[in-house]
Structure 1
Amino acid sequence: MPLTVSDVLQVPALAVGRPVVRAGRAGLGTEVRWVHVSEQRRPAGTLSGGDLVLSIGAAIADPATDHADYLAELRDAGAVALVVELGQHLTTLPSTLVQAARRLRFPLVELRDTVRFIEVTEVVHARLLNDQYTRLQFTQTVTETFRSLLVAAAGVDEVVERAARLLGAPVVLEDLAHRAIGFAGEPARSLLRDWGARSRQAHATAPGTGTGWPEVPVGPPGERWGRLVVPRRVTDPGRASLVLRQAGETVTVLTRIAAATPATALEPQGRLLADLLDGRAGDDDERARAQALGFDPTGPFLVLVATTAAPGDRVVRDAVGDLRLSALVGVLRPGRVGVVVSGADAETPAHLRAHLDHDRVPVLATAARVAPTFDRLPGLLIEALRAADVALAFPQPGAFVWRPRDLGARGLAADLGDDRRLAGYVDDQLGPLLGMAAPRREPLLATLRAYLDSGGRMTGFAERIGVGRATAYGRLEKLAGVLDRDLTDPYQRTSIHLALLAYDGGRAQDGGATRPTAARSPASRSSP
C-alpha cells in the first residue's frame, strides 16, 4: 500500500510536533515517494517528484519571498505537501501563505512543537525503501505466477482465480455485453448479483472516482472481446493495475492459442450446466451465475441434450443462435451437449432439428416435461442425458428427436446394462448366432435386424434386404434354423428382438466391440 501524506503525519517522530492541517486537506491521500528537508526559496531542480517537504520556515520568513510563487514552485517541482515547524523563524504561518495554499489546494501543515527532522526522514525513508522492496517482490511474484500459467497452458478460470488470490479481492472476467464468464474471490450470489446493471454503471464511471472499478481490456488490440475487473474500490490502484494487466495479457494469449473467441462464454455455461447436473441448483450461486451470463433463471425451461462428435458444441450453439433462443449451451461430458432454453414452446425441438446437421448431431433428446422453476433443472438434465445415451446406443432409422417415452424396451435394456441376468438372457436367445465367426455372424445379424425392424412383415423385410419375397423366405428360414426359433411367432420374435436390442446396446457402449459368448446347441435351449 502506498505511503500517503496522511500516513507520514501519523509517524510518531512527526506526530509529537502536533501537526495541524491549514490547507489542502483533500490532498492528504496523495502518495509520498520521499521526504525532503529544504529552506530554499527556489526549490525547482532539487525535488524528484512525490516529495513531502519539511521546513523550519526560514525561506517563508524571508521578506523577499513571494508566498504564492513559493508554493507554486514547490507544487510544480513535484512536492506533494509542505510541513512547517513553528518556533525558530515563525510563530504562526503567514496568512498570505495559507491563502495561497488554499487556492492551490496544496497540503500545508504546521507543527506546533519541535520535531527532529532527521528522525522523521530516517523512519519514513526506511518505510519507503521497505515498501519499494515489497512492491518489487510482489511484481516478481505476479510475473512468475502468470508466466507459469501461460507455460502450463492453464485454463482461463485458473488465471482469474490466481488474480483474485494475489489481490485478496474478487475478480470478474466479463465479455463486452457485460456477461460474467469467469469469476473468483466471492460467492456468486453476492458477487454477481444484478451483474449486468452494476457493471454498466461502473464501466461508465472513471476508475478511482468512487463508483468506477479497476479494469483492463482482454483480447488483442483491435479485437478486444472482454474485460477483467475488480468490482469494488481498492486501496492500492497500482497493485490492482499490475495484477489485472498481467492476468488480462495471459487470458488473451491462452485464448489466442486455443483459437478461442469471446464466446469462451460457452465454457462457463458448460460448467454451470455440469454443476446443475451434479444437483447444486438449490444453491443461489447457480441462479446468480445464470443471470450474470444473461440468462433469465425464472423459467419455464425446456431441457435438451444433443449427441455430437467432439468438439460438437459449436454446431449446437450456432443452431441456437440462428433461432435466437435464450439458452444455456454447454458440454456436459464428451459427446453430450446440454441445452436449457428459457421460454421455449413445443415446436422448439423440431425447429432445432431443422437447423442441425444430422451427421454431426445424430440425436437430440429432450426431457419428458418442461421445468417450471430453476431448481427442477437437475432432474430433467439427468432425464434428457439418459434419453440421449440410450438413443445413441440403440439407433433407430429415421429417429432424431427422442423423448423418454420413446425409449421403450431400449430404455429397459439400457437400465439393466451389464446385469448378468441380461447377459444370460442374450446368450439364451442369440447364443448360436453370436458364437459364429464374424464373417458369418455379422451378415446374419444384419438380416435379423432387418426382419425385426420390419415388424415380421415379409414384404417390408424383402425390401429392406433388397431381394424378392422368395429369397427373403429362404433367409428367414435359415435364421430360424440357426436360432432354433419360430420367428413368425410374435412372442418368440419379441423375445429375440429384446435380446438383440440388449446386445446392440452393449456393443455400442463398448465402442463396437463384439462381446464374447458361448455357442450352445439347439437342444440346450427352450422356447420362451
Structure 2
Amino acid sequence: MDLTLRDVLELPVMAAGAPVVRSAADAVDVLVRSVHVSELSDVAGTLTSGVLVLSIGLALTEPGFDAVAYVRSLRDAGAIGLVVEPGQHLRRLPDALVQAARAARFPLVELRSTVRFIEVTEIVHARIVNAHYERLRLAERAHEAFSTVGAAVRAPDAVVAHAAKLMGLPVVLEDRTHRALAFAGSAETLLRDWTARSRRVPFSAGTEVGGPEGWMCTPVGPPRERWGRLCVPVRSAEQPAAWMVLERAAEALTVGKLLERSPLSVEIEAQSDLLREVLHGADEGSVRARARALGLASAQYYAVLVCRPAHAGQERVFLDAMVTSDGIGGVLAAGRVAAVLPCSSAAAEKALLERVVAGVPTGLAAAFGAAGPVRRLGELPAALQEAVHVADVVSPGLPALRRAGDLGVRGLLWWLRDHPRLHEFTETQLRPLLTLPEPRSSRMFATLRTFVDSGYSMTAFAKALNLSRPAAYSRLATIERLLGVDLSDPDTRLSLHLAVLAHRSAPGTPPQ
C-alpha cells in the first residue's frame, strides 16, 4: 500500500510527538516516496521528488532567515511537506514560516513532543520498500491475469473481474455512449443511474481521477480509436498500483478487441449475458440497473421478441434488424436471438413487433415468438421464457409473429413434455417403430410424421415422399402392420398425431 503524509503522521512513532498540521491540512494525502532529515536553509540539489523533510529548526534560527525563500526552496527541490520539532534551538515555529507555508499551500507540521527522527526514517523507508515489493508482486499477478488475450476476446467481464480483485475496488467497463458492458460489484448499487453519473466524468486521453465522485478512469482501445474506458466508480486515492492494474486491464481489452474474430461486439455480448441471466430468473433490482446501464430506455411497457434462425451464423443480421436504438438484444442458447424493446402502450406493442419482424430479411427466420407487453422489468424473466417457448414450438416455415395463444395443442404438449404420463403415452403409441433397428426406425418414424404433417391427405403424403399413390399406400400399410392399428380410424389418427407431436417436444429433441 502506498504511504501518504497522513499515514506517516498516524504512525505510532510520529503520533507520540502530537503532530499539528499548521498549513495545507487538505493536502496531507500526498504520496511520500522518502524521508530526509535536513537543517539546511537552501536544500536545492539535496532532495528527491516526493520527499518528506524532518527538521529540528536550526535553519529557522539563522540570521536573516527568509521564510518565503525557504518554503520555495523546499517545494522546488521536490519536498511534499516539512515536519519541525521545536526544542532547545527553536521554541516555536516562526509566524512568518506558517504564513509562507499557508500562502504556498505547502504542508507544514509542528511536533509538540520529542520524536526520534532516526526511528521515523527507518519505519517509513521500510514501509516504502514493502510497498514497492507489493507493487512488484501486484504487477506480476496482473501480468499473469491479463497476458492471455484470448480471455479478453471471449469475456471482457473476466478481465474486469480480475482487475477488481487485484485492486480490491469495483470496476466497470463502458463504451463511448456510457453503456456499462461489464462490471465487478453489486449491480444494483454500482450501476444506479449509471449513464447520468458517468457523463459527469469527461473522457480523457490517459488515466485520470475526475468527476464529482472522484472516479478513476482509463481509456480502452487504440489511441485514435478509443471505444470505451474502465472506471473505478468510487472515490479513491490516486494510487500508482491501482493505476497500473487498470491500465494493464485496458491493454488486455484493447488487444483482445483487435484480435476478435466474433461477429458480435462487446456491447452485444454484454446484452446477451444479461438476457441469458434474465431467462434464468435474475434478481429484479440487478436486471433493472444493468438494463438501464446497457441503454434500455425507460418506458410504460416493454415488448419481448425471440427469433429462431433458420441457419446458424446469422445472429448479427437478426440483431441489426430486431434491436432498436433504445432497446437491447442478444443471443441466447441454441442460437436464438432475443430483443427487449420499449413501447408507449399495449396497443403500440403489436405494431412495433410486426414492423421489426417485417424488417428481417426473408428466408432467415424459422420462427418468431413474442410475449408481453410487460409493465415492469421484473416481469421480463417470465415473458422471455414464454417467447422462447413459442419460438421453439412453432413449426418451421412459419416466420410470422406468433404468441402463446397461437400454439394450440403444440403449446400444451411442450409444457407437458417432462410429465411421465406423457412419456408413457408416447412410448406406448410409438414403441414398435422406435425399437426397430436403425436406420429403419428413423425412416419409419419419418414416414409416419410426414403422413401426420400432410393432414392425412394421400395426395399430399405421396407428393411429400415423391412416391406414386400405390407406393404411398404400401408405406402406410407397413406402418399399420408394425403398429397393429388402422390408420383410417379417427381416434387412432388422433392418438398417433399427439404421440408424434409429443415425441418432437421431448427433452433433448431439437426444434424442428
* TM-score with structure 1 setting the length: 0.81
Q: Following TM superposition, by how much is the alpha carbon of 1:112 offset from its aligned partner in structure 2, in angstroms? A: 4.3
Counterparts of 1:245-264 in structure 2, within 5 Å, are: 245-259=247-261, 263-264=265-266
Matched with 1:289 is 290
1:194 corresponds to 2:197 = no
Matched with 2:161 is 161
| DSSP-derived class of the 1:202 partner | coil
CA separation in 2, counterparts of 1:243 and 1:23? 34
Q: Following TM superposition, by how much is the alpha carbon of 1:74 offset from its aligned partner in structure 2, in angstroms? A: 1.5
**Which residue identity lines up with residue 75 of structure 1 in the other structure?**
R
1:270 to 269, 272, 277: 272
Matched with 2:225 is 223
Q: 1:511 to 1:29 in 2, by over 3 A?
A: closer
2:373 to 370, 373, 388: 370
Q: 1:235 to 1:480 in 2, by over 3 A?
A: closer
Matched with 1:522 is none
**Which residue identity lines up with residue 196 of structure 2 in the other structure?**
A
Q: Following TM superposition, by how much is the alpha carbon of 1:245 offset from its aligned partner in structure 2, in angstroms? A: 0.9
Q: Following TM superposition, by how much is the alpha carbon of 1:164 offset from its aligned partner in structure 2, in angstroms? A: 1.6
CA contact 1:218–1:225 (8 Å) conserved in 2: yes
Q: 1:53 to 1:462 in 2, by over 3 A?
A: closer
CA contact 2:174–2:180 (8 Å) conserved in 1: yes
Question: 1:420-449: CA deviations, max 9, x gaps?
Answer: 321332357x79999995998699669736
Identify the range of structure 1 (240-249 vs 335-344) with the bigger mean alpha-carbon deviation: 335-344
Matched with 1:237 is 239
Q: Following TM superposition, by how much is the alpha carbon of 1:77 offset from its aligned partner in structure 2, in angstroms? A: 0.7
CA contact 1:4–1:32 (8 Å) conserved in 2: yes
Q: Following TM superposition, by how much is the alpha carbon of 1:216 offset from its aligned partner in structure 2, in angstroms? A: 0.9
Question: 1:308-338: CA deviations, max 9, x gaps?
Answer: 34444312210024xx364331222122222
CA contact 1:149–1:159 (8 Å) conserved in 2: no
CA contact 1:6–1:28 (8 Å) conserved in 2: yes
| DSSP-derived class of the 1:106 partner | coil
Matched with 1:519 is none
Q: Following TM superposition, by how much is the alpha carbon of 1:32 offset from its aligned partner in structure 2, in angstroms? A: 1.6
CA separation in 2, counterparts of 1:439 and 1:215? 60
Matched with 1:140 is 140
CA separation in 2, counterparts of 1:80 and 1:148? 40
| DSSP-derived class of the 1:339 partner | strand
Matched with 1:318 is 320
CA separation in 2, counterparts of 1:320 and 1:29? 51
CA separation in 2, counterparts of 1:162 and 1:431? 51
**Which residue identity lines up with residue 407 of structure 2 in the other structure?**
L
Counterparts of 1:389-404 in structure 2, within 5 Å, are: 389-391=392-394, 394-395=395-396, 397-404=397-404
Question: 1:363-399: CA deviations, max 9, x gaps?
Answer: 11223x43233233222222222222222xx43x555
Counterparts of 1:74-89 in structure 2, within 5 Å, are: 74-89=74-89
Q: Following TM superposition, by how much is the alpha carbon of 1:182 offset from its aligned partner in structure 2, in angstroms? A: 1.2
| DSSP-derived class of the 1:345 partner | helix
Question: 1:266-301: CA deviations, max 9, x gaps?
Answer: 2232222222222235x3111211122121465522
Matched with 1:101 is 101
**Which residue identity lines up with residue 295 of structure 1 in the other structure?**
L
1:422 corresponds to 2:423 = no
Q: Following TM superposition, by how much is the alpha carbon of 1:47 offset from its aligned partner in structure 2, in angstroms? A: 0.5
CA contact 1:37–1:53 (8 Å) conserved in 2: yes
Q: 1:487 to 1:91 in 2, by over 3 A?
A: closer
CA contact 2:160–2:182 (8 Å) conserved in 1: yes
**Which residue identity lines up with residue 428 of structure 2 in the other structure?**
G
Q: 1:505 to 1:27 in 2, by over 3 A?
A: closer
CA contact 1:56–1:88 (8 Å) conserved in 2: no
Q: Following TM superposition, by how much is the alpha carbon of 1:342 offset from its aligned partner in structure 2, in angstroms? A: 2.0
**Which residue identity lines up with residue 385 of structure 1 in the other structure?**
V
CA contact 1:193–1:288 (8 Å) conserved in 2: yes
Matched with 2:357 is 353
Identify the range of structure 1 (369-378 vs 47-56) with the bigger mean alpha-carbon deviation: 369-378
* TM-score with structure 2 setting the length: 0.83
**Which residue identity lines up with residue 294 of structure 1 in the other structure?**
G
Matched with 2:170 is 170
CA contact 2:272–2:331 (8 Å) conserved in 1: yes
Q: 1:207 to 1:64 in 2, by over 3 A?
A: same
Q: 1:413 to 1:108 in 2, by over 3 A?
A: closer
Q: Following TM superposition, by how much is the alpha carbon of 1:120 offset from its aligned partner in structure 2, in angstroms? A: 2.4
**Which residue identity lines up with residue 385 of structure 2 in the other structure?**
I
Question: 1:204-226: CA deviations, max 9, x gaps?
Answer: 79725753300111222222211
Q: 1:58 to 1:359 in 2, by over 3 A?
A: same
CA separation in 2, counterparts of 1:416 and 1:507? 7
CA contact 1:295–1:328 (8 Å) conserved in 2: yes
Structure 2 runs not aligned, ≥5 long = none
Q: Following TM superposition, by how much is the alpha carbon of 1:24 offset from its aligned partner in structure 2, in angstroms? A: 3.1
Matched with 2:457 is 456
CA separation in 1, counterparts of 2:166 and 2:337? 35
| DSSP-derived class of the 1:363 partner | strand
Highest CA radius of gyration, 1 or 2?
1
Q: 1:33 to 1:399 in 2, by over 3 A?
A: closer
CA separation in 1, counterparts of 2:498 and 2:68? 100
1:302 corresponds to 2:303 = yes
CA separation in 2, counterparts of 1:262 and 1:226? 16
Matched with 1:116 is 116
CA separation in 1, counterparts of 2:119 and 2:97? 27
**Which residue identity lines up with residue 74 of structure 1 in the other structure?**
L
CA contact 1:54–1:83 (8 Å) conserved in 2: yes
CA contact 2:152–2:257 (8 Å) conserved in 1: no
Sequence identity (%): 41
CA separation in 1, counterparts of 2:3 and 2:119? 17
**Which residue identity lines up with residue 374 of structure 1 in the other structure?**
L
| DSSP-derived class of the 2:147 partner | helix
CA contact 1:298–1:374 (8 Å) conserved in 2: no
**Which residue identity lines up with residue 41 of structure 1 in the other structure?**
S
Structure 1 runs not aligned, ≥5 long = 513-528
1:380 corresponds to 2:387 = no
Matched with 1:214 is 216
**Which residue identity lines up with residue 357 of structure 2 in the other structure?**
R
Q: Following TM superposition, by how much is the alpha carbon of 1:165 offset from its aligned partner in structure 2, in angstroms? A: 1.7
| DSSP-derived class of the 1:181 partner | strand
**Which residue identity lines up with residue 284 of structure 1 in the other structure?**
G
CA contact 1:41–1:59 (8 Å) conserved in 2: yes
